[in-house]
A and B are shown apart, each in its own frame.
Chain A
Amino acid sequence: MNALRHIGYMTVRDLRALWRQPWYVVATLVQPVIWLLLFGELFKRVADLPGFGDESYIAYLAPGVVIMSALFSSGWNGMATIEEINRGVTDRLLVSPVRRGAVIAGRVVQSAIVIVIQSVIMVGIALAVGATFPGGVVGVLVLILVSALLGACFATLSNSLALMTRQEESLIGAVTLLVLPLTFLSTALMTSDLLPGWMKTVSDVNPVDWAIEAGRSATAASTDWALVARDAGLLALLLAVCATLAAQAFRSYQRSI
Chain B
Amino acid sequence: MKTSVDHGPAIEADRLVKTYPGDVRALDGLSLTVPAGTIFALLGPNGAGKSTTVRILTTLSRADSGTARVAGHDVVREAGGVRRAIGCVGQRSAGDREATGRENLRLQGQLHGMRGRDLGARVDELLEQIGLSEAADRLVRTYSGGMERRLDVAMALVHRPQVLFLDEPTTGLDPEVRADMWREIERLTREHGLSILLTTHYLDEADRLASQLAIVDRGRVVAGGAPEHLKAELRGDAINVELTYTANGAVHAALDPVPGIRELVVDGTSLRARADEGARAVPLVLAALEAGGIDVASVTVARPSLDDVYLRHTGRSFEEAER
Contacts and interface: CB of A to CB of B under 8 A. Distances in A.
Given A97-B83, A98-B111, A17 B94 contact: no
Contacts of B258: none
A96 interface: yes
B193 interface: no
Contact of A89 (B83, B96, B103): B96
Contacts of A92: 88, 90, 94, 155
User: Is the interface on chain B under 10, 10 to 19, 20 to 34, or 35 or more residues?
Assistant: 20 to 34
Most chain-B CB neighbours within 10 Å: which of A6, A13, A255? A13
A17 B98 contact: yes
Interface in B112-159: 112-113, 139, 155
Interface stretch (B54-62, B177-185, B268-276): B54-62
B99 interface: yes
Contact of A17 (B60, B93, B96, B112): B96
Contacts of A13: 96, 99, 103, 107
B245 to A, nearest CB: 59
B61 A257 contact: yes
B91 interface: yes
B108 interface: yes
Contacts of B103: 13, 16
A92 B154 CA distance: 13
Contacts of B95: 89
A227 B111 CA distance: 42
Given A20-B139, A91-B90, A97 B96 contact: no
Given A13-B107, A16-B103, A95 B86 contact: yes
- State the majority secondary structure of interface residues on A: helix
A45 interface: no
Given A88-B92, A257-B60, A93 B111 contact: yes
B107 A9 contact: yes
Nearest to A83: B97
B110 interface: yes
A97 B110 CA distance: 10
B96 A96 contact: no
B69 interface: no
Given A9-B107, A9-B111, A257-B60, A97 B90 contact: no
Contacts of B110: 9
B60 A91 contact: yes
A94 interface: yes
Given A88-B91, A89-B96, A91-B94, A97 B84 contact: yes
B99 A96 contact: no
A89 B148 CA distance: 13
A21 interface: yes
A187 to B, nearest CB: 38
B28 to A, nearest CB: 19
Given A13-B99, A17-B96, A20-B98, A97 B86 contact: no
Interface string A216-257: 000000000000000000000000000000000000001101
B94 A96 contact: no
B59 A95 contact: yes
Interface in B3-58: 55, 58
Contacts of B66: none
A257 B55 contact: yes
A20 B141 CA distance: 12
Contacts of B86: 95
B80 interface: yes
B58 to A, nearest CB: 5
A245 B108 CA distance: 27
A96 B86 CA distance: 8
B89 to A, nearest CB: 9
A17 B93 CA distance: 18
Contacts of A87: 92, 94, 97
Contacts of A9: 107, 110-111
Contacts of B92: 87-88
Given A87-B94, A88-B91, A97 B112 contact: yes
A93 B90 CA distance: 11
Given A87-B94, A88-B92, A91-B60, A97 B113 contact: yes
Interface string A26-53: 0000000000000000000000000000
A17 B107 CA distance: 13
Nearest to B61: A257
B43 to A, nearest CB: 22
Interface of A: 6, 9, 13, 16-17, 20-21, 87-89, 91-98, 254-255, 257
19 contacts: A13-B103, A13-B107, A16-B98, A17-B96, A17-B98, A20-B98, A21-B98, A88-B91, A88-B92, A88-B93, A88-B94, A92-B90, A93-B111, A96-B111, A96-B112, A97-B84, A97-B111, A257-B55, A257-B60
Given A9-B110, A87-B94, A91-B90, 19 more contacts: A9-B111, A16-B103, A17-B96, A21-B98, A87-B92, A87-B97, A88-B91, A88-B92, A89-B94, A89-B95, A89-B96, A92-B90, A95-B59, A95-B60, A96-B111, A254-B60, A254-B61, A255-B62, A257-B55
Among all A-B residue pairs, the 4 with the closest Cβ atoms:
A88-B94, A17-B98, A92-B94, A95-B58
